[in-house]
Amino acid sequence: MKLDEKDYLPRVADRQLAQLLRTSGAILIKGPKWCGKTATAEHRAASAIYMQDPDKRQTLLGLADTKPSVLLAGAEPRLIDEWQMAPQLWDAVRFAVDRGTGRGRFILTGSSTPGAAPSHSGVGRIARLEMHTMSLYESGDSSGEVSLAALFDGQRDIGAIATKDVEDYARLLCRGGWPEAVAASDADVSLAQAQNYVRELLDSDIDQLGDKRRNATWLRLIMRSYARNVSTEAPLTTIAADMEGEPPSMPTVADYVDALARTYVVEDLEAWNPSLRSKTAVRTSPTRHFTDPSIAAAVLGATPEKLLFDFETFGLMFESMCVRDLRVYAAPLGGRVYHYRDKTGLEADAVVVLPDGRWAPIEVKLGGSKVDDAADDLRTLANRIDQAKMGAPSFLMVLTGTQAAYERDDGVLVVPLACLAP
């Protein structure tokens, strides 16, 4: 069952999955369609069933309704791919784990959250592993010379030269982290994968966005508006107002955005709410992001060449690519990524927070001309945080599209995205 090593692109999630198989009876791998969940699960599974297999779908759904235990029988770990097509399998797996012995018995994968919740949450029995599209480190486009984990452990002696420049970042952004795009040797095929993803979502997958029929025109316009507001705190009222023609009602817009979130098309970045020295109010609005920056580029018809002549849009999409990679790199540490902005306008594009309370603010700058301003803002932010309660930041970082990684005289780290690793 396991894939040939030469055919498998290693993922940061591999180590997390291996650990969870040692400690949990079942693991749910969730994330965007086409991000590589099935391949990662197959790499560890001893047997599998594929609920989307068109030749067996009706039989499998019938068994899920009448005797789901039949679908669970097989060499373990047993992979159940796209389990949400038969949500009753969740309770069957939970029951099997309760009644059986051993760890690492089942791996479930899913690219959407079912509308009807299972009768049992699975807490304590089914562990969850979130996957994203491939980071630049996973795709081989980052040298990995600067480790996020090492920075949190106190490393400061960094020094590296990235081999990527702005033209490369424009191409990598439009290509995205889709494994098929990364593996493609033809540049045109590689760049077409995000466009294919959007086309399939609008043409074929739209009926899977919940328990009601969706309007493809509205969905396209909402995604286009989302793309124009990526990496901003645009409220849903702005998303609606930015739609062409007469937009649907606000409840409808909210419903569509929720459906896009449940199918891992969009993944907003929540606001961080730390303890501050002063009474400055912290904004709580999320920043808008797709699960992969190439979705935004595809929706807007942006090409690498067009982005180079629209640096404002390029910068916002580059920030979204940085957020994706930070989410991938923080995951093995148990970390989460947030953003910070207060009422004075002081902000950090990303804040990585670990379970033990360690934290680090990060500003994203595509070019080098604003690095000084970003470093000043990061130092101001660090001083504004109540460090008696929150602790001092583990590091301050400007994450860039430039080429040199180094520590500034003021202690702020400047790190090219193409040098960063878990």
Could you read off the pLDDT of 211-222 as tens digits, one per residue? 677 888 899 999
Average pLDDT over residues 314-334: 98
Residues 365 and 58: their CA atoms lie apart, in Å, by 51
Question: Using 50, 70 and 90 to split pLDDT, how confident is the model at 134?
Answer: very high
Q: What is the pLDDT of residues 261-308, one digit of tens each?
A: 999 999 999 999 999 998 888 999 999 999 999 999 999 999 999 999
Query: Is the predicted pLDDT of residue 7 greater than 90, yes or no?
Result: no
Contact (Cβ atoms closer than 8 angstroms) between residue 55 and residue 134 = no
User: What percentage of the chain carries pLDDT values higher than 70?
Assistant: 95
Residue 271 CB contacts under 8 Å (≥ 6 apart), including other chains = 282, 283, 284, 285, 286, 338, 339, 340, 341
Contact (Cβ atoms closer than 8 angstroms) between residue 398 and residue 417 = no
User: Measuring CA to CA, how many Å separate 237 from each of 243, 244, 253?
Assistant: 10, 13, 9
Question: Which own/partner pairs from 215-224 qualify as long-range (CB within 8 Å, at least 24 positions apart)?
Answer: 215/248, 218/243, 218/248, 218/252, 218/256, 219/256, 219/260, 220/299, 221/245, 221/247, 222/253, 222/256, 222/257, 222/260, 223/198, 223/260, 223/265, 223/295, 223/299, 224/299, 224/300
Question: Using 50, 70 and 90 to split pLDDT, how confident is the model at 119?
Answer: low
Least-confidence region, from 114-118, 326-330, 403-407? 114-118
Residue 388 CB contacts under 8 Å (≥ 6 apart), including other chains = none
pLDDT of residue 4: 52
Question: Using 50, 70 and 90 to split pLDDT, how confident is the model at 3?
Answer: very low
DSSP 8-state assignment for residue 230: T
Domain locations along the chain: 5-130, 146-421
Residue carrying structure tokens 């590689």 = 190
Q: Is 122 left (phi over 0), alpha (psi -120 to 50) or beta?
A: left
Enter the pTM of the model: 0.94
Average pLDDT over residues 316-337: 98
Question: Which own/partner pairs from 352-357 qualify as long-range (CB within 8 Å, at least 24 positions apart)?
Answer: 352/148, 352/326, 353/272, 354/152, 354/330, 357/390, 357/391
pLDDT of residue 278: 87
Query: Is the predicted pLDDT of residue 250 greater than 70, yes or no?
Result: yes
CA 112 and chain centroid, separation: 14
Question: Using 50, 70 and 90 to split pLDDT, how confident is the model at 202?
Answer: confident
DSSP 8-state assignment for residue 318: H
Average pLDDT over residues 167-178: 98
CA 232 and chain centroid, separation: 17
Helix (H, G, I), strand (E, B) or coil at 139: coil
Helix (H) or strand (E) holding 257: helix 250-262
Question: Using 50, 70 and 90 to split pLDDT, how confident is the model at 6?
Answer: low
Q: What is the pLDDT of residues 55-106, one digit of tens each?
A: 999 999 999 999 999 999 999 999 999 999 999 999 999 999 999 888 999 9
More confident residue, 35 or 245: 35
Query: How long, in residues, is the chain?
Result: 422
Q: What is the pLDDT of residues 397-419, one digit of tens each?
A: 999 999 999 999 999 999 999 99
Helix (H) or strand (E) holding 373: helix 371-384
Pick from 101, 93, 97: nearest CA to 118: 93
Pick from 86, 99, 85: nearest CA to 26: 99
Residues 167 and 177: their CA atoms lie apart, in Å, by 17
* Average pLDDT of the chain, as a whole number: 93
Query: Is the predicted pLDDT of residue 1 greater than 60, yes or no?
Result: no
> Could you give phi then psi for residue 404, rounded to 5 degrees?
-105, 135
Residues 296 and 290: their CA atoms lie apart, in Å, by 7
Average pLDDT over residues 313-342: 98
User: Measuring CA to CA, how many Å separate 186 from each of 193, 298, 302?
Assistant: 11, 18, 19
pLDDT of residue 114: 61
pLDDT of residue 363: 98
Other CB atoms within 10 Å distance of the CB of residue 242: 17
Q: Interhelix angle for 293-300 vs 216-228, to 10°? A: 110
pLDDT of residue 326: 98
Query: Is the predicted pLDDT of residue 321 greater than 50, yes or no?
Result: yes
Residues 383 and 263: their CA atoms lie apart, in Å, by 39
Torsion angle of the four alpha carbons 141, 145, 147, 150, in this order, in degrees rounded to the nearest 10:
170
CATH class of 5-130: alpha beta
Least-confidence region, from 236-245, 309-318, 384-393? 236-245
Q: What is the pLDDT of residues 181-201, one digit of tens each?
A: 999 999 999 999 999 999 998
Residue 172 CB contacts under 8 Å (≥ 6 apart), including other chains = 136, 139, 141, 164, 321
Residues 37 and 31: their CA atoms lie apart, in Å, by 7
Residues 89 and 91: their CA atoms lie apart, in Å, by 5
- Strand blocks (E) in 58-182: 78-81, 106-110, 126-130, 146-147, 160-161
